Amino acid sequence: MAPPALECLLRARGLRVTEPRLAVLAYLAGTDRHPTAEEVESAVNAAGPVLSRASVYNVLHALVDVGLVTGLSVKDGPVRYDAHLGPHHHLVCRGCGRVEDVEWKDFAVAERGVLPDGRAVRTLFLTLDGLCTGCGEKEEGRGEAASPLPSRRPGDAQRFSTGT
């Protein structure tokens, strides 16, 4: 009975392994739909242990805190969650609102406004997670600086990606 990979993931991040966490993580890992908290709740409850709403949020926050999941706030709707690891970005459909993953390399779209497959991009939004001029000075000279791009570390206070 090999310990399912998800258990290891949780343990490796210092989280206790619990039913709710496994259920939520399994659901998120198995979809590319960028579900909202509500969708996570009903999906998980439909085929499982029945979690309270608060638990869904607790679990999602915990997972985001340790970097197993990212939260993205899209348009005017509720926050959506994404268990995809690795660098990628998002295309929000102007038509149906669906969120599509965009591979990192497609970043070059910035200079052209057209996706590799020819689809047009009307606008793009870039948001950086860093320190503003004021706060930057305070932290000056610490070991923290200049870690490269997409990564997240346990203990970060920031739970959600920032949006444009």
Partner DNA sequence: GCCGTCGTTTGGATTTATTCTAAATAGCGT
Partner DNA sequence: ACGCTATTTAGAATAAATCCAAACGACGGC
Residues making contact with DNA (CB under 7 A): 11, 15-21, 36-38, 49-55, 57-59, 61-62, 73, 76-79, 159
- Distance in angstroms (rounded) separating the CA atoms of residues 131 and 135: 6
Q: If DSSP codes are grouped into helix, strand and coil, which group holds residue 102? A: strand
Q: Which does 52 bind (CB under 5 to 8 A by kind): its own copies, DNA, none?
A: DNA
Residue that is written with structure tokens 């206070």 in the block: 157
Q: Which does 142 bind (CB under 5 to 8 A by kind): its own copies, DNA, none?
A: none
DSSP 15-78: ----HHHHHHHHHHHT--S--BHHHHHHHHHHTSS---HHHHHHHHHHHHHTTS-EEEE-TTS-
Stretch that binds its own copies, among 4-12, 15-23, 39-47, 147-155 (CB under 8 A): 147-155
Q: In the bound complex, what is the minimum distance in angstroms from residue 22's beta carbon to DNA?
A: 9
The correct pick among 42, 116, 125, 154 for binding its own copies (CB under 8 A) is 125
Nearer to DNA, 24 or 109 (CB): 24
Q: Torsion angle of alpha carbons 72, 73, 75, 78, nearest 10°?
A: 120
Q: Which does 16 bind (CB under 5 to 8 A by kind): DNA, its own copies, none?
A: DNA
Count of all residues that appear for the chain in the document: 164
Q: Which stretches of the chain bind its own copies, using CB under 8 A?
A: 70, 72-76, 79, 89-96, 98, 100, 102, 107, 109-110, 113-115, 119-136, 138-139, 144-152, 157-164
